[in-house]
Structure 1
Amino acid sequence: MYCSCTMAEHFHLNTPLLESVNMSKRVGTTVYLKMENSQPSGSFKVRGIGHLCQQLARQSKGVVCASGGNAGLAAAYVAKKMGVSATIVVPSSSPRLVVQRLQDQGATVKITGKVWDDANTEAHRLAETEGLTYVPPFDHPLLWQGHATMISEAADSLGPGVKPGAVLVSVGGGGLLCGVIQGLKDVGWKDVPIIAMETVGADCFNAAVKAGRIITLDDITSEAKCLGAKTVCKKAFEYSQSSDLTIISELVTDQHALHAMETFLDEERVLVEMACGAALAAIYSGLIQRLQDEGRLPSCLGPLLVIVCGGSSINMEQLANLKHKIRP
């Protein structure tokens, strides 16, 4: 099957930019939420993957993607819309919920290895042996171009003359971070600080920043499995070393990310996964105030833009499982 869609077609939505009264009270400045959880595939990933597939997979016999959940769901969604087959390779740590949702999108699911890196090796093998188009989940310029559109949308929503005091973003392999930076450059906001959030145990970016070189983690020990790349992409690390950008790399515990998920559900009536909870925890854990106290953010802070990256590997049963694991 071959794609019959037009080149102008987009697979992502222009998502809402919502003001959070509760979060704004906590940090003493206006907090805007870019609601990427409302994308058709459940996360921001459909922006970049949709853009990449439009460019690389229009005449493909099928796509293959390694994913802990969200990239695979985006690839499966886009492939279905384009009329090509999708094979998604997931690690054994992926929730059954994700596997079922992938199958519901018509994808062939293959479970390989313990972590994403193992699944990615198999995805590359399948691309080579079966002639499939490999869809990277985070490390490709076309992905970053697609993700950058969320920043231009936010700029349009905020209107002229309104610039964020900082952007809060979760970091896994670094694709979203690279897209946000690209977007900030596109709209003339390169001077806006980025607060790059990870959980302890899924912190390949923070480890690289501290070491001054790219680090491969021994294992992923965090329950935020969708942050679970053991090595950050090269471009994200290069950005962290750039004197033209302000990237503040911070860690929170799984407990903080879980608390952020629960508070966000309670106050904003939205359920997101732990990977997203890492960014939200910057507000709920008092980290923003600490950064202000340390002089790393100004005491008089402009509005915060929080990328609610979403995630489909969560439901109430999975939330209960996380509570049991993290708070036994």
Structure 2
Amino acid sequence: MATLTKQAAEAPPVSLDDVRAAHARIGASIIRTPTLISRTLSALTGATAYLKFENLQFTAAYKERGALNTLLQLPDATRGVIAASAGNHAQGVAYHASRLGIPATIVMPVLTPQVKVTQTEGHGATVILHGETFDAAYAHARLLEAERGYTFVHPFDDPRVIAGQGTVALEMLEDVPAIDTFVIPIGGGGLVSGMGTVAKAADRPIEVIGVQAELFPSMYNRINGTELPCAGDTLAEGIAVREPGAITARMVERLVDDILLVSERHLEQAVALLLQIEKTVVEGAGAAGLAALLAYPERFAGKTVGIVLCGGNIDTRLLANVLMRDLVRSGRLARLRIRLTDRPGALFQVSRIFNQESVNIIEVYHQRVFSTLPAKGLITDIECETRDAAHLQRLIAALERDGYDVQPVELA
């Protein structure tokens, strides 16, 4: 993709001084999360990968930085604040509003993972579920703002929020001055705008790369004049924004060097690798930076890359599904569809081969009726556990040598 054009004519809505002031304002009330090198992920991707563990914030996301910076500057919020969020901004507002004695109401899409709803309520906020998307929740929140006299705290399109999010980059560059590339998830654009402000004010070139899910390329469309569809059930629901901010779009055009789109498969792989290698739980949006390195290794080869693990609020059932799917893709878990003759001992003969190859059988599924085979034929699906992809291929080869018709059941 061509490098994004820069528009330097207008004064920036957020400056480096704004970010520094935000850091001084919020520093005592947030966790200064570590920025650590991942030697294994560096070897895997070809870049020197530094991870900023924002999933270790109290609310498990960077969003509380911008929320707190905004709350501390509100002139009058006696009637309470209101926000619209798919989850992490909600928790940031709820937690810090409660600390400051400010009533908080949060409007969330009805499909928000239950873990985020529960945690937001646990921070003392009133949660209203409305609409299928963030945009529908946002519209309802603005309606309630007008009706009830609340003060609205925007999740991304507010200079105070942007300045707060930019404090992530301040800390990363203080901890690792060698970083020459930031890879930053983009939803509405608050994080990339704030971090981009810091990066482009540095005394040396620092590349700023944004990342969006392929299913929700809203900022990509805005900047590039494209009309790719924004819809679908993405793992990265935290950045599933159909309409980016007006302020952030202008800042992205000026500050961001490139925007990359990543597939659901790479997002799943990134979540699984972070748990397996770094032993840290990261949600889909939080893993988007690593997903970009996995999807475009040539783009980052040899660079010193700063990646923000911007959130860790993932539903446990969804996380389990992601991990199981990763086992399938790596060949450690498989389902083999085998054609048998319906006669005594047929299943025993097949299981004997599994035993010979030291493959563990987990489940067996028989299908005799709903099949195009003759009446005496049957289809058996055997779910099994192997050491790796090569071990699975040895099993398939052994079955085929004994005359069995074997077809692996593939994931999408």
Fold-level similarity (TM above 0.5): yes
Unpaired stretches in structure 1, ≥5 consecutive residues = 1-6, 293-298
- Give the 3 Å change call, closer, same or farther, for CA 78–305 of structure 1 in structure 2: same
Could you tell me which amino acid in structure 1 is paired with residue 96 of structure 2?
Answer: V
1:235 equivalent among 240, 247, 255:
247
* Counterpart in the other structure of 1:225: 237
Query: One-letter code of the match for 1:278?
Result: A
TM-superposed CA distance for 1:163, in Å, is 3.4
Counterpart code for 1:272: V
Aligned to 2:260: 250
- Listed as ranges, the matches of 1:275-314 within 5 Å are 275-285=285-295, 287-289=296-298, 291=299, 301-312=302-313, 314=314
- Which residue identity does 1:152 align to in structure 2? L
Q: Could you say which residue in structure 2 is the equivalent of 1:108?
A: 126
Indicate yes or no: 2:76 matched with 1:84.
no
Q: Do structure 1's residue 164 and structure 2's residue 176 form an aligned pair?
A: no
1:41-86 deviation line (CA, Å, top 9, x unaligned): 1111011110011001664321111000000010101111111111
Q: 1:186 to 1:21 in 2, by over 3 A?
A: same
Paired residue for 1:26, among 34, 38, 44?
A: 44
> What is the CA distance between 1:311 and its match in structure 2?
3.3
Whether the aligned pair in 1 keeps the contact of 2:77 and 2:151 (CA below 8 Å) is no
Q: Which residue of 2 aligns with 1:125?
A: 143
Q: Distance in 1 between matches of 2:41 and 2:74?
A: 40
Once the two structures are TM-superposed, the CA of residue 22 in structure 1 deviates from its matched residue by 0.8
Cα distance in 2 for partners of 1:52, 1:220 equals 31
Measured at CA, do residues 321 and 96 of structure 1 come closer, stay the same or move farther in structure 2, by a change above 3 Å? farther
Q: Structure 2 vs 1, CA of residues 217 and 108 (structure 1 numbering), >3 Å: closer, same or farther?
A: farther
Rate the CA distance shift 1:9–1:177 in 2: closer, same or farther, 3 A: closer
Note the C-alpha offset of 1:321.
Answer: 4.7
Matched with 2:319 is: 319
Q: Is the 8 A contact 2:82 2:145 kept in 1?
A: yes
Q: Distance in 1 between matches of 2:71 and 2:59?
A: 15
CA deviation vs aligned residue, 1:100-133 (integer Å, no higher than 9, x gap): 1111111111010000000001111111111111
Partner of 1:194: 208
Structure 2 letter corresponding to 1:140: D
Answer yes or no: is the 8 Å Cα contact 1:155–1:187 preserved in 2. Answer: no
TM-score by length of structure 1 reads: 0.85
**Once the two structures are superposed, what CA deviation does each residue of 1:138-174 show, in whole Å capped at 9, x if it has no partner?**
111001111111111112212xxx3322111111111
Residues 1:261 and 2:271 are matched in the alignment: yes
Q: Which residue of 2 aligns with 1:272?
A: 282
| Aligned counterpart, 1:4 | none
Distance of 1:74 and 1:92 partners within structure 2: 19
Q: Is the 8 A contact 1:48 1:142 kept in 2?
A: yes
Aligned pair 1:74/2:74, yes or no?
Answer: no
- Whether contact under 8 Å (1:167, 1:305) holds in the other structure is yes
Letter in 2 for 1:183: V
Q: Distance in 1 between matches of 2:304 and 2:26?
A: 32
Q: What is the CA distance between 1:21 and its match in structure 2?
A: 0.7
Equivalent residue of 1:55, what SS?
coil
Q: Deviations over 1:217-256 (max 9, x none)?
A: 55354232111111112233323433xx452111111111
> Kindly tell me: are residues 321 and 85 of structure 1, through their superposed partners in 2, closer, same or farther at Cα, counting changes over 3 Å?
farther
Counterpart secondary structure, 1:241: helix
Query: 2:387: which partner in 1?
Result: none
Higher relative contact order (CA 8 A, sep 6+): 1
Shift of 1:187: 4.0
Aligned residue type for 1:178? S
Asked if structure 2 preserves the Cα contact closer than 8 Å seen for 1:93 and 1:225, the reply is no
Look up the equivalent residue of 1:202 and give its one-letter code: F
The answer as to whether partners of 1:152 and 1:186 remain within 8 angstroms in 2 is no
Aligned pairs for 1:145-164 (under 5 A) are 145-158=163-176, 162-164=177-179
TM-score of the pair, normalised by structure 2: 0.69
Contact map agreement 2:179 2:306 (CA 8 A) in 1:
yes
Provide the rounded CA distance (Å) in 2 between the counterparts of 1:165 and 1:187: 10
Return 5+ residue gaps in structure 2 as ranges: 1-23, 327-410
Matches within 5 A, 1:38-53: 38-53=56-71
Tell me, in whole angstroms, the C-alpha distance in 2 between the residues paired with 1:140 and 1:231.
15
Query: Over alpha carbons, which structure has the higher Rg?
Result: 2
Corresponding residue for residue 182 of structure 1: 197
Structure 1 stretch displaced more, 260-269 or 146-155: 146-155
Percent identity, aligned pairs only, is 28
Partner Cα distance (1:223, 1:23) in 2: 21
Give the distance between the partners of 1:259 and 1:106, measured in 2 at CA.
34
d(CA) in 1 for partners of 2:155 and 2:41? 30
